[in-house]
Amino acid sequence: MKSRGKILIGLLSGAAAGVVAGLLFAPKKGKDTRKAIADTSDNYYKGAKGRVTDFSDSVGHKIDALKAKTKANFSNSKSEEKINEAKAEIHEMKAS
């Protein structure tokens, strides 16, 4: 799994370097090249920001679900404890 991540990072880095090199060596005016670099950088930034937001939301939902499950389990164990106490009291009443 880690090697896949390294390969993906390497491919993305190579692609980004290729795009930058292509833009820098393209026969365009400096103003146009700078705008193209800024636009490309902005697109990458927005994409990364969106992925981070999605990941954060996903983790938040999982944490909320875990909290709800833990709370349900805790309340169920409390209920079982109360039921057992009530059964013990009934048993003691019958024994007296």
23-48: per-residue pLDDT in tens? 777 777 778 878 887 888 888 888 88
Backbone angles phi, psi at 26, to 5 degrees: -70, 145
The model carries a pTM of 0.42
Strand ranges in the chain using DSSP code E only, listed in sequence order: none
CA 37 to CA 17: how far, in whole Å?
11
Backbone angles phi, psi at 28, to 5 degrees: -120, 165
pLDDT at 1 over 60: no
Q: Which among 10, 41, 9 has a CA at the least distance from the CA of 23?
A: 41
